[in-house]
């Protein structure tokens, strides 16, 4: 994509979302750091595009930024770097790309995030699980803590 401000060819995608059967991408130029928006029609999207089915049945494009945002909330004030968070999101996207043509559910992706957080930080794992699994009582927390620390 060419920057409309300085004609640089290197840009990065900041955010992607589906709007009116098109993909709206917010981009940032790597040279002048100005931001601009592009729109892509579905007919030009390759069949290898990752799709995610939400709990309400709607389907949308895979959005790494949503995974990063969810993990960021779980690791707040924990010793986890931004690079580690992005690394988790990239590994999940790579795992999904290995099974091309498959529509993933938010539950499948949430389980992948939990696997990654279990290996990284127990507190972040519990925080993410409490939102993802929609804990409604203290017993839910006790159960998940006993799974992580069986000796406790």
Q: What is the pLDDT of residues 55-75, one digit of tens each?
A: 888 888 889 999 999 999 999
Q: Is the pLDDT of residue 45 over 50?
A: no
Residue 87: CA atoms inside 13 Å, Cβ hemisphere, count? 9
pLDDT tier at 17 (50, 70, 90 boundaries)?
confident
Cβ atoms 95, 87 nearer than 8 A: no
Residue-level pLDDT at 44: 45
What is the phi/psi pair of residue 73, to 5°? -65, -40
What CA–CA distance (Å, rounded) separates 17 from 39? 10
**Domain count of the chain?**
2
68 in the same domain as 89: yes
Non-local (6+) Cβ contacts of 82 within 8 A are none
32 in the same domain as 106: no
92 in the same domain as 58: yes
Which candidate, 58, 63, 51, places its Cα nearest to that of 24? 63
């Amino acid at each position: 994509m060419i920057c409309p401000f300085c004609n640089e060819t290197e840009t990065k995608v900041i955010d992607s979302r589906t709007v009116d059967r098109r993909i709206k991408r917010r981009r940032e130029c790597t040279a002048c750091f100005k931001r601009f928006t592009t729109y892509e029609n579905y007919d030009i999207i390759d069949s290898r595009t990752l799709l995610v089915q939400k709990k309400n049945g709607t389907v949308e494009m895979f959005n790494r930024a949503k995974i990063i945002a969810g993990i960021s909330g779980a690791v707040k004030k924990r010793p986890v770097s931004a690079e580690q968070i992005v690394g988790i999101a990239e590994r999940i996207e790579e795992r999904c790309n290995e099974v091309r043509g498959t529509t993933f559910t938010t539950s499948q992706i949430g389980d992948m995030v939990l696997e990654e957080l279990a290996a990284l930080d127990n507190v972040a794992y519990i925080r993410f699980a409490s939102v993802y699994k929609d804990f409604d009582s203290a017993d839910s927390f006790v159960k998940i803590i006993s799974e992580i620390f069986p000796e406790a």
